[in-house]
Amino acid sequence: MRYHYQPFSLVGEHNIMFLRSFIILFLSCIVIRLSLCLSSIPSTLKTLPLNLNFDEASLRHAARDFGNRYQHHPMAVLHPESVPDIAATIKHIWLMGPSSHLTVAARGHGHSLQGQAQAHGGIVINMESLKVKEMQVYGGNSPYVDVSGGELWINILHETLRYGYAPRSWTDYLHLTVGGTLSNAGVSGQAFKHGPQISNVQQLEIVTGTGEVVNCSKEHNGELFHSALGGLGQFGIITRARILLEPAPTKVKWIRVLYSDFSAFTRDQEQLISAENAFDYIEGFVIINRTGLLNNWRSSFNPQDPVQASHFKSEGRTLYCLELAKYFSLEEIDVVNQEVERDLSYLSYIPSTLFLTEVTYVDFLDRVHVSEVKLRSKGLWDVPHPWLNLFIPKSKIHSFAQVVFGNILKETSNGPVLIYPVNKSRWDNRTSVAIPDEDIFYLVAFLTSAVPSSNGTDGLEYILSQNKRILEYCERAQLGAKQYLPHHSTQEEWRDHFGSKWEAFLKRKSLYDPLAILAPGQGIFQKTVSFS
């Protein structure tokens, strides 16, 4: 029996020795890797008199965003105390020349979707750390506020309201930084009237890709001013902005109505964005295969006719909700009620679905934050968000709706699908943002949330596949659609995205960031690329 067991015991000992050796080797590799990572940090970078963090917790935080899909770890995170801190960092990398692979990304509140504010192996600048002068509100005939590029819009709202003013154009979610939204466009239900946020800026302070701090406006350094607005962070980091204001209302009459006919829905939307002084906010959303819809609204809205509303059935239908808001002050309530009743009488919605409520101006603008708090409490906020945002020309919106809402999209239970028109005349064509070439175009936003580990229709892979089908249809049908908050894989796709603006985009890049140091997460340029 010994002769049978002894070989096995020897094998066991050999296995244990092998396992120990493997573990030692594995741990040694980790130590070597960490040493290499630390030694790969340029010595000059470590000696800069700046608040640069190299610890794993800071790097891990900077490598995440709201999209929760891409995680590219930087080499360091800068917490700037002043604009010169940002300028010194970029200037240092610029002077290192093309032999250095270091890049820089500005990160605001981390609400990017696809790693756009990340810098693999580079430096992420935490814009919320930027300490600058307090917000300055100026009244008069053309009121404005001067704010930091790292300031949240919700803070700007509260500060300007103290003086009886508020910005004219918003995003639906206010817990975003000024630099972040101005680098894209900043679109919401007020855009039909005042244009996007980039149409409501007077001045900018920008740190370019060579570390130069430049003040600019339409009249002064206008090329850089228009480049940065909607420029996806490619031409400079916005460190300060002068935002136009208007007298602020105190109350909002908030209205929702439903349509089953898409043609009537879009006709009414287009009529409303062309009307004078009808409503101050116009959006819409699509509802597919939802039940008990109106009962859900009753917690926040009141049906004009409760009996009729109780008989309305939404099961299995594709419906379109028109969402409207009228801003007012308390002394105007009687006039506003008459105006709302008059303007609603021109519309072709389903009469039993008229729901109304009155809220404060702040509660209306910050409405999405209420949903955020609820989702966070349930652990449903920090999940993948494979959002898809598109601009669709008015002439193609019916074809788009027929295919996408009638065939590709099966339900809208895992996130809202927004749809509303805006006027191109409110957009400045000199900015970098790419939009369709029609007088009216629609924002269509698929704001889905994926359930982690799900393999069903609410899972990440299914939603990504659905987004791909939508994009392929847009390309195949030659709709002339443009992505908002764009994400493309190749420079050829980016060329198509910018279309006639591409050559100007290249020229501006060579002027303001010739080594392609800035915003590598967008994937438009590689560092040291030739712009000839």
Looking up tokens 């204001």 gives 245
Instruction: Please identify which of the residues 85, 146, 268, 283 carries the catalytic annotation.
Output: 283
To the query of whether residue 172 is one of the catalytic residues in this protein, the response is: yes
Q: Is 363 a catalytic residue?
A: no
C-alpha closest to that of 181 among 170, 165, 191 = 170
Q: Which of 243, 277, 275, 250 lies closest to 168, judged by CA?
A: 243
In three-state secondary structure terms, 460 is helix
Give the DSSP H/E element, type plus range, for residue 24.
Answer: helix 2-39
Catalytic residue among 72, 109, 111, 385: 111
Which residues on adjacent β-strands are paired with residue 482?
Answer: 391
Nearest to 262 by CA among 129, 393, 402: 402
Q: Give the helix/strand (H/E) hosting 417.
A: strand 417-423
- List Cα–Cα distances, 38 to 44, 45, 54, 73, 99, in angstroms: 13, 12, 9, 14, 19
Q: Are 75 and 55 in contact (CB under 8 A)?
A: no
- Residue 147 near residue 99, CB atoms below 8 Å: no
Where residue 384 falls (left for φ over 0; alpha for ψ -120 to 50; beta otherwise) is beta
Would residue 461 show up in a list of annotated catalytic residues for this protein?
Answer: no
Report residue 24 as tokens.
């030692």
What DSSP assignment string belongs to 254-290?
Answer: EEEEEES-HHHHHHHHHHHHHSSSS-SEEEEEEEES-
Q: Which two tokens stand for residue 462?
A: 């299914």
The closest of 97, 98, 99, 115 to 107, measured between CA atoms, is: 115
Residue 257 has φ and ψ, to the nearest 5°, of -140, 155
**Residues labelled as active-site residues:** 111, 172, 283
